[in-house]
Structure 1
């Protein structure tokens, strides 16, 4: 299992946290997601090789993941 943290731009409330969390949970292989709109950080535990898919899911939900 892989654990990684992403910075997400555009989360401004708990509703945004829920949107990001729900989008990431739909990615196959994701086991745990914790989003914090105050810090802009999202912690993910997932199978190896899912980071690009997670970034795409966050982007598709309307948020930015800077490079």
Structure 2
């Protein structure tokens, strides 16, 4: 399953990583999620297409989803 890396602004600690991961994990089609506050990134694996509501899910916690950086 391909994974994609996105820029996320607003994360500053491990607690932020947990919040972002817990917001993204239940979205439909998500198969993998890993947030990294040190690099300000979010790695997401998903079936077929970008999960609907990805940006909104993390915005609810005060984080902003940026552009996709790369496919990993």
1:65 partner SS:
strand
Q: Write 1 or 2 for the structure with the bigger share of helix.
A: 1
2:4 partner SS:
strand
- Alignment partners' CA distance in 2, 1:57 and 1:65: 10
Q: Alpha carbon RMSD of aligned pairs, Å?
A: 1.6
Asked whether 1:62 is paired with 2:62, we answer yes
Give the 5 Å matches for 1:1-67.
Answer: 1-67=1-67
Post-superposition offset of 1:52: 4.6
TM-score, normalization by structure 1: 0.84
Q: Write 1 or 2 for the structure with the bigger share of strand.
A: 2
Structure 2: tracts of 5 or more residues without a match? 68-72
- Alignment partners' CA distance in 1, 2:40 and 2:52: 18
TM-score, normalization by structure 2: 0.79
Query: Matched residue pairs, number?
Result: 67
